[in-house]
Amino acid sequence: MFRLAHLSDPHIPPEVSPRRRDLMSKRVLGWTNWRRSRHRIHRQHVLDLLTGDMAHQSPDHVVVTGDLAIVSTPTEWQACRLWLQGLGVPEDISVIPGNHDAYTRRAIPGTALAWREYMSGDPDTAAHSDFPYLRRRGPTAIVGCSSAIVSAPFMATGRVGSAQLRRIGPLLRQLGDEGLFRVVLIHHPPLRSSGDRYRRLTDARAFAGLLSDCGAELVLHGHEHTATVRWTPGPGDSIPVVGVPSASALAHGGRPAAQYNLYELTGGPGSWNCLMRTRGFDGGELIELQDRALYVDGKSSGQVVSGK
């Protein structure tokens, strides 16, 4: 059995406040919002308890689908790097950026450099330092895509872009031919109906079209700070598209407290079994919230096996 853990949107606070000159941009709005309200929602002790519980489950690999930072200043890049190092070695942790990690143009190369070992493919892949990157882990092929772009103030949109889209399709076909369980990582939910115009993935139609034509077994995302399981058409069965709440959040505004998912994969090509176990906070206690079968004997399924 191969076990894959998924968490997202940890929003890791730095130990010291950003320098004044680093806030001379859109960052000042985000940091003001953080200091006024969001710091009360995203708590370091919540994140620590969640990741400690996750480590106790002994996953074979962990994926983090973006928004490690708050406004992506240099002090945050280092704080996030230290957090990643505490989470595990780069070979065992796959990361993609989110919109909060791309707050300014400077932030995109900054995070790419600071977290490079966690956001790159296997050395033997064709373009291991670019997106989409590829990591083969056990029976899985992890395809890391970036939807992180610099957006205007009060916007949180994302875009995959034509260059990535040209590479994703052939890559998914190749991995399908190899019989691997293809796990696609993207920060913004890739379905056209997901998110308002200020937070959506602007090329979701094209991305969903690739999935429909080329296939994947599982798509994981963050961004919405809520727990979702949706389905998008594939060349055969529908593909599960799964989002998780923020890994550091208290329950707020109708959104759940921190959760993560653990995917237990058995079987093989044409006969995959994938059980999704959801663990998170309920009434201050960290417990198993739900088990859900995503694949049974090779067929995708929305059946709830058991749950709270």
Which pLDDT belongs to residue 305? 47
What pLDDT, in 10s, does the model give residues 207-238? 999 999 999 999 999 999 999 999 999 999 99
What pLDDT, in 10s, does the model give residues 69-88? 988 888 999 999 999 999 99
Q: Is 63 helix (H, G, I), strand (E, B) or coil?
A: strand
Mean pLDDT of the chain: 90
At 39, which helix (H) or strand (E)?
none
Q: How does 91-116 read in b/e, with b if 16+ C-beta sit within 10 Å?
A: eebbbbbbbbbbbbeebbebbbebbe
- pLDDT classification of 14: cutoffs 50, 70, 90: confident
The whole-angstrom separation of Cα 53 and Cα 257 is 15
Q: Per-residue pLDDT for 54 more than 70?
A: yes
Domain coordinates in residue numbering, the chain: 2-307
Helices (H), 9-90: 27-36, 44-56, 74-87
Q: Per-residue pLDDT for 308 more than 50?
A: no
Q: Which CATH superfamily is domain 2-307 in?
A: Metallo-dependent phosphatases (3.60.21.10)
Q: Per-residue pLDDT for 53 more than 90?
A: yes
> Nearest to residue 132, comparing CAs of 214, 69, 68?
214
For the chain, give the percent of residues with pLDDT over 70: 88
pTM over 0.85? The answer is yes
